[in-house]
Structure 1
Amino acid sequence: MVKVATTPLDRTRVARAALKLLNETGLEGLSLRAIAKELDVKAPALYWHFKDKQALLDEMATEMLRRMNEELAADEQPDTEWPDALSAALRGLRRHLLMYRDGAKVYSGTRFTDMSYAAPMEAHLRMLTGGGFTPGAAARAWLTGYSYTIGYVIEEQSMGPDPVKEEGGYDLAARAERLAAYPLAAAAGDEMFRDYDAGFEKGLAAVVAGIGATMRDAPGA
Structure 2
Amino acid sequence: MTTERRTPLDRQRVADTALRLLNEVGLEGLTLRAIANELDVKAPALYWHFKDKQALLDEMATEMYRRMTAGTPLDPADTWRERLYKANRGLRAALLGYRDGARVFSGSRFTGIEHAEQMEDTLRLFTASGFTLAQAVRATSTTYLYTLGFVIEEQGVQPLPGERREGFDLDERARMMSAYPLAAKAGAEIFADYERHFEEGLELVIDGIAARYGRE
Instruction: Give the alignment's TM-score, normalised by structure 1.
Output: 0.91
Deviation at 1:5, TM superposition (A): 3.6
The equivalent residue for 1:4 is 4
> How has the CA–CA distance of structure 1 residues 50 and 6 changed in structure 2, closer, same or farther, with 3 Å as cutoff?
same
- Write out the 4+ residue segments of structure 1 that deviate beyond 4 Å after TM superposition: none
Of the structure 1 ranges 7-16 and 137-146, higher mean CA displacement relative to structure 2 is found in 7-16
* Distance of 2:27 and 2:169 partners within structure 1: 23
* Distance of 2:29 and 2:84 partners within structure 1: 34
* Distance of 1:186 and 1:176 partners within structure 2: 5
* Distance of 1:85 and 1:165 partners within structure 2: 29
2:168 counterpart of 1:163: no
Number of corresponding residues = 215
2:32 counterpart of 1:35: no
Unaligned runs of 5+ in 1: none
The equivalent residue for 1:112 is 110
2:76 counterpart of 1:78: yes
Partner of 1:117, secondary structure, is helix
Deviation at 1:215, TM superposition (A): 3.0
Q: 1:117-146: CA deviations, max 9, x gaps? A: 211111221221122211110001000000
Q: 1:35-63: CA deviations, max 9, x gaps? A: 11111111110011111111111111011
Checking the alignment, whether the CA contact within 8 Å between 2:58 and 2:110 is kept in structure 1 is yes
Structure with greater contact order relative to length (CA < 8 Å, sep ≥ 6) = 1
* Distance of 2:135 and 2:179 partners within structure 1: 44
The equivalent residue for 1:154 is 152
Q: Percent identity?
A: 57
Checking the alignment, whether the CA contact within 8 Å between 1:141 and 1:215 is kept in structure 2 is no
Deviation at 1:167, TM superposition (A): 4.2
The equivalent residue for 2:189 is 191
* Distance of 1:47 and 1:215 partners within structure 2: 48
Which residue of 133, 140, 143 corresponds with 1:142? 140
Deviation at 1:4, TM superposition (A): 3.5
The equivalent residue for 2:21 is 21
Unaligned runs of 5+ in 2: none
* Distance of 1:66 and 1:184 partners within structure 2: 43
Supply the AA of the counterpart residue of 1:208: I
Instruction: Give the alignment's TM-score, normalised by structure 2.
Output: 0.93
Checking the alignment, whether the CA contact within 8 Å between 1:179 and 1:185 is kept in structure 2 is yes
Checking the alignment, whether the CA contact within 8 Å between 1:101 and 1:164 is kept in structure 2 is no
2:213 counterpart of 1:215: yes
Checking the alignment, whether the CA contact within 8 Å between 1:23 and 1:164 is kept in structure 2 is no
